[in-house]
Amino acid sequence: MAETRVPTVIADGLHIVYRVHGSAAGRGPAPSALGRLLRRRRSPAVREVHAVKGVSFTAYRGEAIGLIGSNGSGKSTLLRAVAGLLPPHEGRVYTDGQPALLGVNAALMNDLTGERNVVLGCLAMGMRPREVRECADDIVDFSGIDERGDFSSLPMRTYSSGMAARLRFAIAAAKTHDVLMIDEALATGDAGFRRRSQERVRELREQAGTVFLVSHSLGTIRETCERTIWLEAGVIRMDGPTDEVAGAYEEFARGR
Ligand SMILES: Nc1ncnc2c1ncn2[C@@H]1O[C@H](COP(=O)(O)OP(=O)(O)OP(=O)(O)O)[C@@H](O)[C@H]1O
């Protein structure tokens, strides 16, 4: 019997262009910009960075899709566009449900403790206060931030970047998302945390979500995703089974 595949994200000829103000070449660093401001000269031209160039793909429910490519190839930009955080310059993104971009959607506050951030992050994801009370301790345990001391009662600014990334992941992963996008989060943390997060990604997929994972670690991509999209200079180079795409990318990276 043919399985019905349910699309969750469709990108159709998507172009994303950043507009960088006050960045004309040869205008010098910040002090000269300040000088221009004080002298009330005309602001320099706006420069455009065409980060994603005509990307099209369809993601289906139950898929975990890896996004790979060289630095600056447009992976994070694509995720932000799918999450609705960047407007398309051309083309469209259709999504079923609200995509959650891990690490960006979670509005964590540096001056608040990890515990308070767990509560705020869960409420921001639409959980009820009772649900938050029930899962708050599990989130802290999952993140592992208390493994070397009582860090959950300290302000987030005292955390290492890895600890903060783990807490963000733990908060976002506490809820089932229609579309969950993870940017490098699995690459942070120790082996124990990586194993826990891979298991959680698998559970989230079984709960009918779609997971996108951006990582420079092909090991993580191979362990987590069966499909991979390779972006290069804003264009899809390859989209297919992870083994094939990761293999071709490794060859490309070796040849550079
Ligand atoms: N806020 C921004 N304003 C202007 N240009 C940007 C901005 N963010 C990214 N870019 C540019 O867009 C292009 C794609 O960047 P992006 O961060 O999406 O790549 P990436 O594949 O995620 O890179 P990396 O692997 O290094 O994280 C790059 O040329 C980058 O310089």
Supply the CATH number for residue 156's domain: 3.40.50.300
* Sequence-ordered strand ranges (E) for 64-126: 64-68, 90-95, 99-101
Indicate whether residue 187 lines ligand 1 (CB < 6 A): no
The tally of domains found in the chain comes to: 1
The answer to which of 126-135, 160-169, 201-210, 223-232 has the lowest mean pLDDT is 201-210
Checking if the pLDDT of 44 tops 70, the result is no
Q: Whose CA is nearest to atom 27 of ligand 1?
A: 71
Q: Is 222 domain-assigned?
A: yes
User: Is residue 150 situated within a structural domain?
Assistant: yes
Distance 70 CA to ligand 1 centre (A): 11
> Ligand 1 pocket, 99 CB below 6 A?
no
In a domain, 130, yes or no: yes
Do the domain assignments include residue 192? yes
**Ligand 1 atom at minimum distance from 79 CA:** 18
Ligand 1: centre distance to CA 71 (Å): 8
- In-domain check, residue 2: no
Q: Are 180 and 210 in contact (CB under 8 A)?
A: yes
> What is the enclosing helix (H) or strand (E) of 5?
none
72 ligand 1 Cβ < 6 A:
yes
Query: Contact at 8 Å (CB) between 65 and 211?
Result: yes
pLDDT at 42: 59
Residue nearest to atom 24 of ligand 1 (CA): 71
Per-residue pLDDT reduced to its tens digit, 80-113: 999 888 999 999 999 987 788 765 455 678 899 9
Would you say residue 111 lies in a domain?
yes
pLDDT in tens, 62-71: 899 999 999 9
Is 215 contained in some domain? Answer: yes
Q: How large is the ipTM? A: 0.97
Averaged pLDDT of the chain: 86
For residues 179 and 105, the answer to whether their CB atoms sit within 8 Å is: no
Q: Mind listing the pLDDT tens digit for each residue in 228-244?
A: 999 999 999 999 999 99
Cβ of residue 105 lying under 6 Å from some atom of ligand 1: no
Question: Considering the domain boundaries, does residue 1 fall inside one?
Answer: no
Nearest protein CA to atom 6 of ligand 1, as residue? 18
58 CA → ligand 1 middle, Å: 22
Specify the pTM: 0.80
State in Å: Cα 231 to ligand 1 middle: 12
204 — phi, psi (to 5°)?
A: -60, -35
What's the mean pLDDT in 19-47?
A: 65
Range(s) of the domain holding residue 143: 7-255
* Residue 230, C-beta contacts closer than 8 angstroms, at least 6 positions apart: 68, 69, 236, 237, 238, 239, 245, 248, 249
Task: Establish whether residue 76 lines the binding site of ligand 1, counting it when its CB lies within 6 angstroms of any ligand atom.
Answer: yes
**Does 202 have pLDDT greater than 90?**
no
